[in-house]
Amino acid sequence: MKNTKKKLEDKIIRLTISSDQKYKEGNFKGSLEDKLEVKSLLESALCDKKTKEALKNELTRLYTSKFDLIYDHKKRIDDRKRNQIINSLENKSKEKYLSGDFKGAIKALRRSEKYQ
């Protein structure tokens, strides 16, 4: 069981890095597909708190910027407001995905991750 969870964690991290690379290369559809796979893996029964924490650390590493306004904003809002923003951005991502705007969809999804 422990080995299975480690493989899941490795796969989630690998897909996250792959998504980031694809995003930087302009392959927005591929980046979005990787993010959606990560999201489905996170919702699986095998995913535990340790795996989610590893993903959060990886996202922090990938998205760290000297001037991060979202990080500053996140410190000032409560959990309810943060969850509202995340849900709003995820819904926006779904809408853009359904309309074929993969660039807009992945941008909204990446922004929602920064609030987590």
| pLDDT tens, position by position, 61-70 | 777 666 666 6
Q: Which two tokens stand for residue 111?
A: 């922004």
Query: DSSP characters for 11-30?
Result: HHHHHHHHHHHHHHHT-HHH
Q: Which two tokens stand for residue 59?
A: 């996202």
Compute how many other C-beta atoms are within 10 angstroms of the C-beta atom of residue 105: 24
CA angle 115-85-16, nearest 5°?
40
Residue 79 has a pLDDT of 85
Nearest to 111 by CA among 76, 87, 95: 87
Residue 72 has a pLDDT of 64
Residue 32 has a pLDDT of 93
Residue 8 has a pLDDT of 82
| Contact criterion met (CB below 8 Å) for 55 and 13 | yes
101 vs 91: CA distance, rounded Å: 13
Q: Which residues of the chain have a pLDDT value below 70?
A: 1-2, 64-73
